[in-house]
Structure 1
Amino acid sequence: MTVFRDFNFKLLVIEKLMYWDRTLGPEFSLRDHMRAHGVEDLEAHVERNELEYTVLAEARAYFEELEIPAELLATVDELTFDGGHSVYMECAPVWDGEDDLFDIRSLDDLDLLPNLKVFTGGLALAHMLPDAPGILAARGIEARH
């Protein structure tokens, strides 16, 4: 079983494999999941329960438990850090991108991606992890804006 240390880093990998490459499935839809549990208006549910600035427990549980086989991890040659990711909207459907909810806290999970060559948005990681550009460079990973 592959274990990620940083949930937000795992979300970047899920974005790439599930929503971009479509090699990891089934594609998770929080709206469908919540509808199956009796929640018809997801945004109203989030606002009524003051969950605007959190990852919904249902999404967190799904993505934390999601197994990503090593052979799929080996296909990841590029990651992108961007506030507009689908996976973020599945976790926090009314998130406005104005906080650190999805900031990367550790790059330890780079070890799980043996073929990663490019990290778009990697230079932006420096405001989250000051040593990020150096860590990426030391691994031969190109950090792009």
Structure 2
Amino acid sequence: MTAPIVFRDFNFKLLVVEKLMYEDETLVPAFDLSEHMRAHGVDDLARHVRENGLEYTVLAEARAHFEQLEIPAELLASVEELMFDGGLQVFAECAPVWDGEDDLFDVRGLDDLDLLPNLKVFSGVDALEYMLPGATEVLTARGIETED
């Protein structure tokens, strides 16, 4: 039995989840926060978030799901492109009324690049550079093409 692969940066992991779960649909089943919350008695997710002051946070249920989610090495090896964009589906599943006006989903480090041996392209590098000055240099040094 191999040890689970551990990401150091939760937000970087979310970028990988976006690619595999919501774009490629190879990491299944896709997590649907609304469905999950309905199963726990919350019919109006947006109202629940607002009434509980959770607009600017990753909901605990989503955080727990994605933190515990194991991604097999073979799926990680299939990732050739990543993108940072404030409109990613995975962000909506974590914070359903998030407006993108804060640093909630900022990537804090690039150590997890080691988990993606075949990454060739990173899109949204302007945003990444804002979060992590010098990120473009790190990506370029690894032979990863960057796109705005």
Band the TM-score falls in, shorter-chain normalisation: over 0.9
Counterparts of 2:80 and 2:38, CA distance in 1: 35
Counterparts of 2:91 and 2:131, CA distance in 1: 17
In the other structure, the counterpart of 2:19 is 16
Identify unmatched segments of 5+ residues in structure 2. none
In the other structure, the counterpart of 2:137 is 134
In the other structure, the counterpart of 1:78 is 81
Q: Secondary structure at the match of 2:146?
A: strand
* TM-superposition CA deviations, 1:59-88 (whole Å, max 9, x none): 000000000000000000000100110000
Question: How much does 1:123 deviate?
Answer: 3.2
Residue 90 of structure 1 is aligned with which of 90, 93, 118?
93
1:54 aligns with 2:66: no
Write out the 4+ residue segments of structure 1 that deviate beyond 6 Å after TM superposition: none
Q: Secondary structure at the match of 2:18?
A: helix
Q: What are the residue-to-residue correspondences of 1:40-51 with 2, within 5 Å?
A: 40-51=43-54
| Residue pair 1:123, 1:143 contacting (<8 A) in 2 also | no
Amino acid at match of 1:136: L
Q: Could you tell me the TM-score, scaled by structure 1's length? A: 0.99
Identify unmatched segments of 5+ residues in structure 1. none
Query: Aligned-pair RMSD on alpha carbons?
Result: 0.6
Q: Secondary structure at the match of 1:34?
A: helix
Q: Could you tell me the TM-score, scaled by structure 2's length? A: 0.97
Counterparts of 2:63 and 2:27, CA distance in 1: 17
In the other structure, the counterpart of 2:110 is 107
Amino acid at match of 1:112: L
Amino acid at match of 1:36: A
Question: How much does 1:124 deviate?
Answer: 2.4
Question: Number of residue pairs matched?
Answer: 145
